Structure 1
Amino acid sequence: MKKLSIIALALFIQSISAQVNRFVYQVTMKPDAENKADIKSENAYLDISADKSMFYSENRIKRDSIMQKAFQGGGGRGSINRDQMEGLRTNISYSVEKDKANQKTYFKDRIGRDLYSYEEDRPLSWKISSETRKIGEYRVQKAETDFGGRKWTAWFTTDLPYQDGPYKFGGLPGLIVKVEDDKGDYSFDLMKNYKVADFPSLNQFGNTLKVKRTDFAKQQQKFKTDPMSFMTQSGGQGGFSTTRIGGGGRGPGGGGNQNPADMRKRMEERVKEDAKKNSNPIELQ
């Protein structure tokens, strides 16, 4: 009986240590360079375990859940409530994963049918200040860095046992509670945290193409000018080598007996409109 109690206790401790800590950030953005009054705000999750962390949109995981239930119910896309999905649109289409053991950061985002993945090749260089203050319940310390063409100020706390932060930020002696750029275009503010059982499984339609960061930037620009080239099986790879990681699925933009010319026109108009609304990206270079 005593041995069973010890085993049960060991399993309980193991289950607690295996849990993932979820930190909820409010992300405030001004994505339209011509209309800074158009402020977008939504929540994003930073899930942290001993081995890795993931940063992604709360709306994305909600949209994934709706789609998964529709397909499991046998209804497919036709049974999805479009108004509900529209209400869960996100300006955070990307996800960021940090591999703690290897000190590597991986960025994923969709272009056309495919998901692109690259390893971040620019290490963060922080200048830590002696300045401290309180944000909410945490005592925080100031740090500054230049990244992606912006000057960033972060406030981190050692009250929590994590050296991490939202987006690609991390590498400070504590958890980043707040980080914002000097123009006030982007800010990430910690709202709350709680434990979850495990990392979510994000839906990944199409193929995942492993590329270099500079090639990803080139593909983004190409998509803005010629979006239909990314709707083909080639994925608009544009002459550089890619490594396919898995695949399958029709993904967004596929199917239907639509007139190709009309489809191209609508696609190009939508991409141009989206590009205009997202002319002030988080990384300027």
Structure 2
Amino acid sequence: MKKIGVFITVLLAQITFAQVNRFVYQVTMKPNVADKSDIKTENAYLDISADKSMFYSENRIKRDSVMRANFQSGGARGFNRDQMESLRSVINYSIEKNKKDQKTAYKDRIGRDIYTYEEERPLNWKILSETTKIGDYKVQKAETDFGGRKWTAWFTTDLPYQDGPYKFSGLPGLVVKAEDSTGDYSFDLMKNYKIADFPETSTFGNIMKVKRTDYIKQQEKYKSDPTAFMNSQRGSGGINAPRSRNGGGENQNPAEMRKRMEDRIKEEAKNNSNPIELK
């Protein structure tokens, strides 16, 4: 009986260890440098397992789920555009931290493809003696300069994770709150719970592994001339699409479609002119 009891204890421990812990952060952003009154707020997930963690938008998972369901039920014709618009996210990137090799991988879509790079800049934290309480957690203050911004973080050792939202990690506890000195970006832990496993995500287009500097160059090319950029993407077939029909059955002119796409991308660039990393 004693051996059975030990076996059950070990088994339960393994099951618990295998679970993924999800931390939900409220992300507050002022992405438009010309209009600081334009404040965007949305939720993002930090999912942590024994081997890795992933940080990404809640809306991304919802959009992926909607897209998979629509493709399975008849492809693009089944898309509910209003529903997709309601799930549009400012957080288009995802970040994966590998616990074994201590590497951080950043992924973001540019045009039709996914660009990914490994972060090579270390986070050098200055841990201060100041403590307070945020929610149920006793937290301690830390500061760092990263990506052209000065960040203040509050971390807790009440939770056994040396991790945090975005690229923040390396503190002796979980980051409960992080905010830059200008108040343009903040991450606030709202709640946490366990999930069975990391969610399934959809990947459309090629995966392009690049250096961070190359990612920035490609991003600027896309913003300055989206048509030329997308036509140059390998395997994408460009954007010289055949004449198509809209929901009302009328033909859409390819030139008009390209013009609308360019206007949309330029408008998005203007509305996202205050990125979280300034350099």
- For residues 238 and 170 of structure 2, what CA distance do their matches in structure 1 show? 36
Quote the residue 2:171 is aligned against: 172
Aligned letter for 1:235? Q
| Closer/same/farther in 2, CA of residues 51 and 266 from structure 1, 3 Å limit | same
**Deviation at residue 9 of structure 1 after TM alignment:** 5.6
- For residues 45 and 38 of structure 1, what CA distance do their matches in structure 2 show? 23
Quote the residue 1:243 is aligned against: none
Quote the residue 1:100 is aligned against: 99
Maintained 8 Å contact 1:205/1:252: no
Structure 1 segment 1-285 matched on structure 2, within 5 A? 10-72=10-72, 74-232=73-231, 234-235=232-233, 257=243, 259-285=253-279
In structure 1, runs of 5+ residues without a counterpart are 237-247
Maintained 8 Å contact 1:154/1:179: yes
Maintained 8 Å contact 1:116/1:208: yes
**Deviation at residue 17 of structure 1 after TM alignment:** 1.2
| Closer/same/farther in 2, CA of residues 132 and 4 from structure 1, 3 Å limit | closer
**Deviation at residue 197 of structure 1 after TM alignment:** 0.5
Maintained 8 Å contact 1:54/1:96: yes
| Closer/same/farther in 2, CA of residues 78 and 53 from structure 1, 3 Å limit | same
TM-score normalised according to structure 2 size: 0.91
| Closer/same/farther in 2, CA of residues 251 and 284 from structure 1, 3 Å limit | farther
**Deviation at residue 132 of structure 1 after TM alignment:** 0.4
Alignment size in residue pairs: 271
TM-score normalised according to structure 1 size: 0.89
**Deviation at residue 93 of structure 1 after TM alignment:** 0.3
Could you list the per-position Cα deviations for residues 193-241 of structure 1 after superposition, in whole angstroms to 9, with x for gaps in the alignment? Answer: 0000111121110111000000000011111111012323x427xxxxx
Tell me the SS of whatever aligns to 1:44: strand
Give the root-mean-square deviation of aligned CA atoms.
Answer: 2.2
**Deviation at residue 13 of structure 1 after TM alignment:** 3.2
- For residues 8 and 132 of structure 1, what CA distance do their matches in structure 2 show? 40
Q: Percent identity?
A: 70
| Closer/same/farther in 2, CA of residues 165 and 150 from structure 1, 3 Å limit | same
**Deviation at residue 83 of structure 1 after TM alignment:** 1.2
- For residues 252 and 167 of structure 1, what CA distance do their matches in structure 2 show? 32
Tell me the SS of whatever aligns to 1:121: coil
- For residues 255 and 26 of structure 1, what CA distance do their matches in structure 2 show? 39
- For residues 137 and 84 of structure 1, what CA distance do their matches in structure 2 show? 36
| Closer/same/farther in 2, CA of residues 252 and 191 from structure 1, 3 Å limit | farther
Could you list the per-position Cα deviations for residues 157-208 of structure 1 after superposition, in whole angstroms to 9, with x for gaps in the alignment? Answer: 0000000000001100000000000000000000000000111121110111
| Closer/same/farther in 2, CA of residues 167 and 251 from structure 1, 3 Å limit | farther
| Closer/same/farther in 2, CA of residues 251 and 116 from structure 1, 3 Å limit | farther
- For residues 130 and 261 of structure 1, what CA distance do their matches in structure 2 show? 61
Tell me the SS of whatever aligns to 1:53: strand
Maintained 8 Å contact 1:156/1:176: yes
- For residues 252 and 18 of structure 1, what CA distance do their matches in structure 2 show? 43
Maintained 8 Å contact 1:113/1:230: no
- For residues 116 and 251 of structure 1, what CA distance do their matches in structure 2 show? 18
| Closer/same/farther in 2, CA of residues 266 and 108 from structure 1, 3 Å limit | same
The range that moved more, 26-35 or 63-72, is 63-72
Maintained 8 Å contact 2:221/2:229: no
Maintained 8 Å contact 1:47/1:54: yes
Maintained 8 Å contact 2:155/2:175: yes
